[in-house]
Amino acid sequence: MPDPEKRFAEEWRNAAYNCFSSGHKFCREVCPVMQVTRNESWSPTAFHANVVAMEKGELEVADVAADYVNCTGCGACELRCPNSLFTGDFYRFRTRTVDLVKAVRGLAVSQGVHQPGWQRWNLLTDERRHEPVLNGTPVDQARVRDWADGLDLPIGGETILFVDCEAAFYRTSVPRSVARILNLAGYKFGLMNEQWCCGGPAAEMGYEEQARRFAQHNLDDWRAAGVRRVLVLDPHDYITFTEDYPKYFGDAYDIEIVLVVELLAELIREGRLTPHVPVERTVTYHDPCRLNKRKGVWREPREILRAIPGLTFHDVDRVTQWSYCSGGGGGLPVEKPELTAKISEHRVEKAAELGVDTLVSACPWSERPLSEAGRARSIDVVDLHELLAESLGVAP
């Protein structure tokens, strides 16, 4: 066994045995990939069992690397794992399947085992400093602030707004809505000087060196511009800035990260924002995995929805939503768009059962797959920030 694989197996063996011996497999039933494929090789349990086999020399990472594509990084399996949910806090040792998947993907890349879609995606991201979210149309630094045209926003300052690649180039009305809302509330913020991709997707796909390089660039740029606080509208960025960056920089990570959804809920609570334009829609809310499951953020989006007049809000149990996912995370749509589409169809089907005309999300990355699935059922997929902007009379 090559040395890197040996070191990897040593690092993850205890977690793997811990999972393998539980045998409950609750994780399997909430895994969005398992729900639509029933492929046992793609279950969280299998992801751990492979490590046991790797430690025993029964397989190498090249044998199983392709299996590890089948994870959206939603974190449902971790929350339903009895080891995490019921004893994780007591032992300070929880099942970290999402991290394991990232680690195996990283090990594969370091061994020269690539998935073709991910390799191309990260190559283009490295060249352009942004993810190739517009397919053939190049995206680059020269266009990264185009979304803010006409908004007269300063560059730099103590507080800045970080806009993810999808929202900066494809879902531009989302950051425009956020900017208009913050302006309305009198909340001061600027734009980034240079805004590279956060590096999170590269880390998720196993391209760790690239992820760290991008992270270092962003942190250096923030410091050079005197930034103390970064506002984040994308749940994926929020995960990257609060989980990956602390891992990379440790004590030197001196930036405050604020999630825009939480900030907006607070501004409404304080009376600095009062939604008043009725929005006549019947909606339900899609909890983005990286907010609800991975960060425990679910109250604030609902506070915002309940503050919007005219809305008929059919909420579902948010714990049930631990098993919902759009399929848009973890690089899955890059490598397996057909699987993402199936997961989205499954999610929209759940919304359709509630008789709603609109599915509200708070994650730019979920909207493409959910919108496509929604069209087949005549369900609009709209962004929470945009909905709030409409009710505040500042739609972009």
Contacts with another protein, residue ranges (CB under 8 A): 14, 18, 79, 84-86, 88-94, 96, 229, 241-242, 246, 249-251, 253-254, 256-259, 262-263, 266, 295-296, 317-320
The nearest distance, CB 188 to another protein, in angstroms, is 16
Give the residue with the Cβ less far from another protein, 38 or 247.
247
Closer to another protein at the Cβ: 28 or 96? 96
Query: CB-wise, 145 or 318, nearer to another protein?
Result: 318
What's the closest the beta carbon of residue 322 comes to another protein, in angstroms?
A: 8
CA distance 189 to 157: 7
In the numeric block, which tokens belong to residue 332? 């899955």
CA separation for the pair 103, 101 (Å, rounded): 5
Q: CB of residue 233 vs another protein: minimum separation in angstroms? A: 15
Beta carbons of 314 and 282 less than 8 angstroms apart: yes
Least distance in angstroms from the C-beta of 356 to another protein? 22
Q: How far is the CB of 35 from another protein (least distance, A)?
A: 18
- Residue whose CB is less far from another protein, 70 or 323: 323
Output b/e per residue, 138-148; b: 16+ Cβ within 10 A: ebeeeebbebb
Collapsing DSSP to helix, strand or coil, 237 comes out as helix
* Complex with another protein: residue 239 or 339, whichever CB lies closer: 239
C-alpha 195/C-alpha 191 separation (Å) is: 9
Min dist. Cβ of residue 54 to another protein (A): 19
Of 232 and 388, nearer to another protein (C-beta) is 232
Contact (Cβ atoms closer than 8 angstroms) between residue 268 and residue 304: yes
Q: Give the pair of three-digit tokens for residue 248.
A: 């990379």
Tell me how far, at minimum, the Cβ of 136 lies from another protein, in Å: 37
Longest dimension (CA), the chain: 64
Least Å from the CB of residue 92 to another protein: 4
Nearer to another protein, 24 or 375 (CB): 24
Nearer to another protein, 311 or 363 (CB): 363
Enter the DSSP assignment of 161. Answer: E
Q: Which helix (H) or strand (E) covers residue 385, if one does?
A: helix 384-391
| Alpha carbons 64 and 54: distance in angstroms, whole number | 10
Look at residues 167, 170, 241, 160 and name the one whose alpha carbon lies nearest to residue 200. Answer: 241
Token pair, residue 186, equals 């009198």
- What span, in angstroms and rounded, lies between the C-alpha atoms of 215 and 250? 13
